[in-house]
Structure 1
């Protein structure tokens, strides 16, 4: 079975929330929008979680996180390498366009 999320799976489930602690010890909660594997590495596309739909921000920044493992277990890093970010970002862009049926003509120039 594939680990990739299908549009049907996304519609049928409650938000997949992920709470992480930043460098300053503050907890940040994100909603996982999509997950996939690129060249053997697992990635998550997340947005900051907003509990009240009235406070949703149409300009919310999509954050791409790399999932890795070490001696202590699983960890996540924000992808900050430009080449890796472009490659993985393109994969997520195509997946999200299909998942949410986004047409280029709907996008602002």
Structure 2
């Protein structure tokens, strides 16, 4: 996925399209992740998504369901953003 993406559109379970701001892209253990938050929402936690490939080799975004993987991403995100302060 390109590094200069600022917003993405995602569909929820009901097919409703929502715009998300891309907060950062992380490369961890040969995998790529996006940290996103709904555009214009102040009090909503960021969401971590893994960038995978579909059968045709196109980028797809997958929610993180493994607790250990989620913790690893959370720690990396917190480390990066605590260093910026």
Q: CA-to-partner distance for each residue in 1:53-91, whole Å, 9 max, x for gaps?
A: xxx52x321110100002141100121211100011100
Residue 16 of structure 1 is matched in structure 2 by 6
TM-score normalised by length of structure 2: 0.85
Structure 2 regions of 5+ residues with no counterpart?
none
Tell me how many residue pairs correspond in the alignment: 83
Structure 1 regions of 5+ residues with no counterpart?
5-12, 51-55, 102-109
Q: Comparing both structures, which one devotes a greater share of its residues to helix?
A: 1
RMSD across aligned C-alpha pairs, in angstroms?
2.1
Match of 2:49 among 60, 65, 82: 65
Match of 2:22 among 29, 32, 56: 32
Q: Comparing both structures, which one devotes a greater share of its residues to strand?
A: 2
TM-score normalised by length of structure 1: 0.68
Runs of 4+ in 1 over 2 A off after TM superposition: none
